[in-house]
Amino acid sequence: MAKFQSHHSKQSAAASGMVVKVGIFGALVAGLFFVFNKFMGNQENDVADEFAPLEMYYPQSTSGEIVVHKGFALSYSEEHEQAEWTAHELSRENLEKQWNKRSDAFLPDNEVSTGSATPDDYRGSGYDRGHLVPAADLAWDAEAMKETFLLSNISPQAGNFNKGIWRELEELTRNWAKKYGHLYVVTGPVLSVEPKGEIGENEVSVPVAFYKVLLDYKSSNPKSIAFVIPNEVSYDPVFDYCTSIDEVEELTGLDFFPDLLDQQSESILEANFNKDLWPFNKKKYEIRINSWNKQ
């Protein structure tokens, strides 16, 4: 697991012809019915369906507390006062829409039954309020982006990590989604390893590292890659931290995409990765080293 290893030792021809014609006619009618319902049906339900995350790509929840927001879902860990994972989809179509202005309003998540962390927990802690689902990933919808600022989607991150290599990985992920058309994205803190410490009255754990799992499942060439990056400033290339989904599962104790992939697909896509299929941006890396790491 590259740089983080030190932290952790799916009857007649005429009759036949008539059957074919009937079948084709039936298919055309069904298709027209679908189009009519999609474009002339209940518009409000269409909008809701557009944003509803698909449960079939959720990872396993060890806490049993899954919260679904407009553009993403999460599994909340009360013990650590943050999500153990977040899951969302990235599509080229949405990323190319006009972006809404950031809200920057960090608020408790009232959907968490036990109560989430609060802004006071982070105040004066020395750590950034780091996004798991980036605001920019959902900037095409104002409400969805606003919900990324809920504290259930936030984790304590070292400033030069959050503004540096984590930002670079987030931007690369959006580039890859544009290139391939669609990605399933799962992100979270590594909570299986003893945290660096705790902050605030709610004792929010400070993770030693963060992971991001990417699955391109809808293209003609399905592929995956994952990253585990220490929660600290880094001057190394992002790809020094890439690994397989299987390795992240072993590290975190989570099961990714259990309902999405069949056994064969899982064994292939989760055990292997090819970083050459995920283009690296040298210019972005140089900007991080010379600018972002110094902010």
> Which positions are catalytic?
131
- Classify each residue of 1-13 as buried b or exposed e, where b means 16 or more C-beta atoms within 10 Å of its C-beta: beebeeebebeee
Residues 148/154/159/161 CA torsion (nearest 10 deg)? -90
What values do phi and psi take at 241, rounded to 5?
Answer: -110, 10
**In Å, what is the CA distance from 209 to each residue of 46, 85, 115, 140, 286?**
38, 13, 24, 29, 22
- Residue 43 CB partners (closer than 8 Å, separation 6+): none
CA angle 154, 225, 173 (to 5 degrees): 55
What order do you get walking across the sheet with 209-216 strand by strand? 66-68, 73-77, 82-91, 182-189, 209-216, 223-230, 242-243
| 160 in Cβ contact with 293 (< 8 Å) | yes
